[in-house]
Amino acid sequence: MRLAGQPEANGAMFWFPFRAGVRQAAGLPSLVLMASLIGVGGLTRDIGYPIWAGVLSTLLLWAGPAQVLLFGSLAAGASLPAIAVAVSLSSIRFFPMVVSILPLLRGPGVGTGRLLFGAHFVAVTAWTEGRRLLPSLPVEQRYPFFIGFSITVMAAATFATGAGYYLIAALPAAFAAALLFTTPMFFTLSLVAGSRTLADWAALGLGFALAPLATALVGQDFDLLVVGLVGGTLAYGIHRMRGVR
Amino acid sequence: MLAELEQASGGLWPYLVVIVIGFLPTEVWRVAGVLAGRNLDENSQVMVWVRMVATALVAGVVAKLLMSPSGALAVVPLWGRLGALAAGVAVYFVARRSVLAGLFAGEMVLIGVCLRGSQL
């Protein structure tokens, strides 16, 4: 028997968790991303690019540090191929982040196409909030919740990028510095909040401590690759040693 | 050659740069993540390792942002940047694991260091 209300019921099954995701994003996560992306708008203006190039970079890159690197390197006059390589190396983190959040996004009716769409929104905020909130939701609600959350924070951040294009030059220096400090502070607190085991803490501490060393050894471009592989593997070793005991 | 390309593309050049030099090199890792992780078991050992690598990478990004800062943040001395970060984490725990309190405290310390520096 075909149920007359079926399509609507299916719609409700998507929009109910979607709206829950929107509500979850509407507070602190959106504010943090707005603060982070205001500075990117200012950088876009500094190099003489139109406002929509900055806005587009938030929609497409969705990676604050990579956007800062892109516009900062353009300002410094680096060659385009070199910038592309540096941007790509700075974004390697998305590979393990996407791989580790996929099991939480998979569900009935979520094929590769939808996963690719969802993966575009993966960045530190969606990754940490997703890993924190998704496990407690029913499997079929996870994907729509994640999309509702992600689209909301991206909309807020995109607006902030455009606003920053005009605002940043008018801000006092201390305030501008505080805005640029938002990303490292929030990334750190997100990692601290998500750390439960000794191995988690080791990955956090090693990643932080190894970075200056890696920069000195292999240079600005490949340092993060070394930090991720060496720090992550050492932390995994700690995980294995504690598991065996 | 790039200069000619820039000439030929006219006003579209900045958008081309954002897409080709920014978007594609970033997105390739997300697509690769989907393709590589589609069939991985969430409780496998590989997944634990991958999560550790991701955590170390994000921590590494934080360190790089603080060690070689851009724009107005570069004016704040290194001890001020690291001190503000430590203060933010400390307040996070004191305030019973509140990210908002930690973030606010870190920002306040940073602004304090900034204002003090400009008066000296």
Task: With CB atoms and an 8 Å threshold, state whether A122 touches B99.
Answer: no
Q: Considering all CA atoms of chain A, what is the largest pairwise distance in Å, rounded to the nearest integer? A: 69
Closest CA to A161 of A62, A46, A75, A40: A40
Is the pLDDT confidence value at A80 over 80? yes
CB neighbours (10 Å) of residue A162?
A: 18
Tell me if B6 is assigned to some domain: no
CB atoms within 10 A of CB B116: 11
Residue B83 lies in a domain: yes
The model's confidence at residue A5, banded by pLDDT at 50, 70 and 90, is very low
Which tens digit of pLDDT belongs to each residue from B40-93?
A: 887 889 989 999 999 999 999 999 999 988 778 888 999 999 999 999 999 999
What share of chain A in percent tops pLDDT 70? Answer: 95
pTM of the model: 0.89
Range of the domain at B113: 70-120
In a domain, B49, yes or no: no
Flag whether residue B80 sits within 8 Å of chain A, measured between CB atoms.
Answer: no
Give the span between the Cα atoms of B26 and A98, in whole angstroms.
12
**CB within 8 Å: B58 and A191:** yes
Per-residue pLDDT of A37-75, as tens digits, reads 998 998 899 899 999 999 999 999 999 999 998 998 898
> What is the pLDDT at residue A3?
43
Q: What is the total count of domains within chain B?
A: 1
Among A43, A57, A95, A226, the strongest candidate for a mutation testing the B interface, having the largest count of B CBs within 10 A, is A95
Indicate which of A100, A116, A182 best probes the interface with B, i.e. most B CBs within 10 Å of its own CB.
Answer: A100
Do the beta carbons of residue B78 and residue A160 sit within 8 Å? no
- What pLDDT sits at residue A244? 57
pLDDT of residue A1: 41
Give the model's pLDDT for residue B118. Answer: 67
- Alpha-carbon distances, residue B105 vs A162, A186, B96, B108 (angstroms): 27, 12, 14, 5
Does residue B30 sit within a domain?
A: no
Average pLDDT over residues A173-187: 92
pLDDT at A205 over 50: yes
Residue B93 lies in a domain: yes
Q: Does residue B114 lie within any of the structural domains?
A: yes
Gyration radius of chain A's alpha carbons: 20
Chain A contact set for B26 (CB, 8 A): 61-63, 66, 87-88, 91, 94
Is B37 inside any structural domain? no
pLDDT averaged over chain A? Answer: 91
B chain contacts of residue A63, beta-carbon cutoff 8 Å: 26
CB proximity under 8 Å: B 7-26 to A = 11, 14-15, 17-26
Domain for residue B108, yes or no? yes
Give the DSSP per-residue string, A30-86: HHHHHHHHHHHHHHHHHTT--HHHHHHHHHHT--HHHHHHHHHHHHHT--HHHHHHH
- What residue segments make up the domains of chain A, in order of their start? 6-173, 195-245
**Residue B44 forms contact with A (CB below 8 Å):** no
- For residues B47 and B42, what is the distance between their CA atoms, to the nearest angstrom? 6
Structure tokens at A226: 């070394």
The pLDDT value recorded for residue B119 is 62
- Looking at residue A7, what is its pLDDT? 46
